[in-house]
Amino acid sequence: MKNFLIELSVIHLVLVLAYFFILRKEQYYGLQRFYLILVALVSMVIPLIKLPKLFQTQEVMVVAPTLPFESTEAVVLAPVSVQSFWNDQLLFTIYLIVTGIFLLKFLFDLFKIILLKQKSHLEYTDGYTISRTNHDLASFTFFNWIFLNKNILSHQQEYGVILKHEEAHASLLHTYDLILFELYTACFWWLPSAWFVQKEIKKIHEYQADTYALKSFDVDHYSSILISSILKSHGLSLANSFHDGLILKRLKVMKQKTKKMSNWKFGALTTLFFMLFTFMACTEDKLVAQDSSSSASERETFTIVAEQPSYEGGMDALYRHLMNEIRYPDLARKNGVEGRIYVQFVIERNGTVSDVQTVKGIGAGCGQEAERVISKLTSFKPGVQRGRTVRTVMTLPIEFKLDPTKANADNNAEVSIVVGELQMKKEKLQLDVKYTDGSWKGTLKDNDGNPLPGANIVVEGTKYGRVSDLDGSFSIEAKESQNVIISFVGYERINLSK
Q: What is the mean pLDDT of residues 396-406?
A: 73
SS3 386: coil
Residue 248: what residue type?
L
Provide the pLDDT confidence category of residue 78 given band limits of 50, 70 and 90: very low
Contact 64, 25 (CB under 8 A): no
Which has the minimum average pLDDT: 35-44, 112-121, 418-427?
Answer: 418-427
CATH architecture of 308-423: 2-Layer Sandwich (3.30)
What is the rounded distance in angstroms from the CA atom of residue 70 to the CA atom of residue 417? 19
Q: What is the mean pLDDT of residues 38-56?
A: 77
pLDDT in tens, 210-262: 888 888 888 877 777 776 664 444 445 565 555 455 656 676 676 666 677 78
SS3 262: coil
H or E element at residue 423: helix 422-425
Q: Is the pLDDT of residue 182 over 70?
A: yes
Q: What is the CA angle 179-172-258, rounded to 5?
A: 115
Q: Which residue has the higher pLDDT, 130 or 224?
A: 130
What is the rounded distance in angstroms from the CA atom of residue 381 to the CA atom of residue 350? 8
Q: Is the pLDDT of residue 13 over 90?
A: yes
Provide the pLDDT confidence category of residue 322 given band limits of 50, 70 and 90: confident
Nearest residue to 73 via CA among 472, 431, 486? 486
Q: Is the pLDDT of residue 345 over 60?
A: yes
Q: Is the pLDDT of residue 81 over 70?
A: no
- DSSP structure string for 142-171: ETTEEEEETTS-TTSHHHHHHHHHHHHHHH
Provide the pLDDT confidence category of residue 149 given band limits of 50, 70 and 90: confident
Beta strands in 269-338 (DSSP E): 303-304, 310-311
Q: Give me the pLDDT at residue 233, please.
A: 42
pLDDT in tens, 325-339: 888 888 888 888 888
Contact 277, 51 (CB under 8 A): no
> What global pTM score does this model have?
0.52
Q: Which residue has the higher pLDDT, 122 or 306?
A: 122
Q: Give me the pLDDT at residue 75, please.
A: 32
Provide the pLDDT confidence category of residue 364 given band limits of 50, 70 and 90: confident
Which residues touch 315 (CB under 8 Å, ≥6 apart)? 70, 420, 423
pLDDT in tens, 257-295: 667 778 888 889 889 988 888 887 665 443 333 333 334
In the chain, which residues fall in CATH 3.30.1150?
A: 308-423
Contact 36, 19 (CB under 8 A): yes
Q: Give me the pLDDT at residue 247, please.
A: 59
Q: What are the phi and psi torsion angles at 139 (to 5°)?
A: -70, 140
Helices (H), 54-173: 91-118, 157-171
Nearest residue to 159 via CA among 126, 132, 136, 127? 132
Q: Give me the pLDDT at residue 65, please.
A: 35
Q: Which residue has the higher pLDDT, 386 or 343?
A: 343
Q: What is the mean pLDDT of residues 86-107?
A: 86
